Amino acid sequence: AGTRILNAALRSKIMSAEEAAALIPSGVNVGMSGFTGAGHPKSVPAALAKRIMDANLYGKKFKIGVWTGASTAPELDGALAMVDGVEMRLPYQSDPTCRKRINAGEMEYIDIHLSHVAQSVWFGFLGKLDVAVVEVSGILEDGRLIPSSSVGNNKTWLDCADKVILEVNSWQHPALEGMHDIYYGTALPPHRKPIPIIKTDDRIGEPYFRVDPNKIIAIVETHQTDRNSAFSAPDESSRKIAGHILEFLEHEVAKGRLPKNLLPLQSGVGNIANAVLAGLNKGPFENLTAYTEVLQDGMLEMIKSGKLTVASATAFSLSPSALTELNSDLDRFKHNIILRPQEISNHPEVIRRLGVIAMNGMIEADIYGNVNSTHVMGTKIMNGIGGSGDFARNAFLSFFMTPSQAKGGEISCIVPMVSHVDHTEHDVQVIVTEQGLADLRGLSPKQRAKVVIENCAHPHFKPALMDYYKRSLDHSPGKQTPHLLEEALAWHLRYLREGQM
């Protein structure tokens, strides 16, 4: 113990999680590390949750603002939501208890493009950042910090917060040192300069965080594992979606519109995204690269097989078994992986320059190609937009994927009009379901509608969608994007009333 903290002066700040949590008062905004179950603080949030519960037992209100990289784990989001200790949550979550509170109106939530968070904090758009609680994997003699298994917004939290609490997690692999690329060249407008990443594996920063030692008020030592749920094995539907995408990519290569090793890949969260990666791992493409935000199981497999030569991300997002595998051989994988701040992993400028191929999941799409990634039946948040908008708008090719039906066939994921829009028709180039793929490039709204219905809708819903489209064409006052406004959301209403669309 203590060996991870090489700076002698900082060792005097070591204390228990309870003591550290006692330094966080009610009403403050706390920037926590953590990105999809990797690199989140493991013990201070839970200790804080206990403190909040105690305050509540004595009739006192105790709530904080919780800002993170993205989703975290039950011991952070779950614990704080359970005691109703979160006033405002941002920018992305996927915790069931949190989701329940948000949808019950008991917790405020701002869903932000992940690349926008840093600049919003710098400019104070979100209020003041009082405390940072950041997991690191070690502290150097000169006080610089070795980042953990996610970078997320940690650079911004350490730079902007008044006070800093560090969790030094000795469970994190020592070989993480050197894997990160923390860029200190970002400036605010009007002084911005280009982000000099030209290739996926360019390193433009340094492997450590800097922090003003005078801001550090506590250091807590932990030895706890990252936490991500396991992926389910690709099912029939995900395999079909993967198959359609692979076929399409081969076609694009044959047409000379994509190089043989494609372009840098971005792959979202979830089982379908992982299935697509599994498909690519068996597919014909070699020497692939990834410029993405999370490195999940499928990408690790591709690095192992040699299909993927380099992956740039902001976090690991690995199932327990993949994590064990990574950590048993991290020295080997180290040379293929770069972890960057999310401001850079999701930077529109870099995504556009590299020509990223973006592949993200969705909740529903409409016949004109607008995509809802976040809201069930228009009003209930699922997770958040995450990085999907950063990538979709700026990608060279942007795919959105979903099974054609949800809830055992009661819901059509292709609808007349989406009940919430995250990605407008302008940012959506290819829609894929197990039924097929709709390439929307170069098509007008009316042309898109026919292809989306024909190629992507489930046969059970196809006739009703075509009927809606045809009647819209006859009766819509405008013929650019024909709709029957009194009917456009009737499918969702029917589901809410009758349990089926």
CB of 71 to ligand 0RQ, least distance (A): 6
Residues 6 or more apart whose CB falls under 8 angstroms from that of 329 comprise none
| E strands present in 440-501 | none
Instruction: Tokens 């800002």: give the residue.
Output: 67
How far is it, in rounded angstroms, from Cα 38 to Cα 164?
Answer: 19
Query: Could you tell me the CA-to-CA distances from 345 to 96, 338, 408, 454 in Å, in that order?
Result: 27, 10, 36, 36
Count of alpha carbons within 13 angstroms of residue 117, beta-carbon side: 33
Q: Of these residues, 135, 221, 293, 343, which one is catalytic? A: 293
Q: Judged by CB, which is closer to ligand 0RQ: 2, or 499?
A: 499
Q: Report whether the peptide linkage leading into residue 348 is cis, meaning its omega lies within 30 degrees of zero.
A: no
Burial class (CB in 10 A: 0-12, 13-18, 19+), 14: middle
CB of 92 to ligand 0RQ, least distance (A): 6
DSSP 74: I
How far is it, in rounded angstroms, from Cα 232 to Cα 298?
Answer: 12
Q: Judged by CB, which is closer to ligand 0RQ: 65, or 403?
A: 403
Question: Under the rule (CB under 6 A), what is the footprint of ligand 0RQ?
Answer: 36, 70, 92, 268-272, 293-294, 360-364, 373, 376, 382-383, 385-388, 403, 406-407, 411, 413
CB of 402 to ligand 0RQ, least distance (A): 6
CB of 76 to ligand 0RQ, least distance (A): 15
Q: Judged by CB, which is closer to ligand 0RQ: 269, or 350?
A: 269
Residues 6 or more apart whose CB falls under 8 angstroms from that of 262 comprise 249, 253, 285, 288, 357
Q: Judged by CB, which is closer to ligand 0RQ: 43, or 372?
A: 372
CB of 477 to ligand 0RQ, least distance (A): 28
CB of 489 to ligand 0RQ, least distance (A): 13
Taking phi over 0 as left and psi of -120 to 50 as alpha, with beta for the rest, 84 belongs to left
Torsions phi, psi for 147 (to 5 deg): -65, 170
CB of 409 to ligand 0RQ, least distance (A): 11
CB of 96 to ligand 0RQ, least distance (A): 9
Q: Judged by CB, which is closer to ligand 0RQ: 310, or 392?
A: 392
How far is it, in rounded angstroms, from Cα 229 to Cα 278?
Answer: 18
Our answer to whether residue 293 is catalytic in this structure is yes
How far is it, in rounded angstroms, from Cα 403 to Cα 408?
Answer: 11
Is residue 273 within 8 A of residue 361, CB to CB? The reply is: yes
Three-state secondary structure string covering 389-402: HHHHHHCCEEEEEC
The closest of 270, 244, 276, 280 to 438, measured between CA atoms, is 244
Q: Judged by CB, which is closer to ligand 0RQ: 176, or 294?
A: 294
Instruction: Tokens 């039906």: give the residue.
Output: 405
Q: Judged by CB, which is closer to ligand 0RQ: 173, or 458?
A: 458
How far is it, in rounded angstroms, from Cα 227 to Cα 253?
Answer: 38
- Nearest position to ligand 0RQ, beta carbon: 386
Per DSSP bridges, beta strands 371-372 and 364-366 are antiparallel
Q: Which residues are catalytic?
A: 293
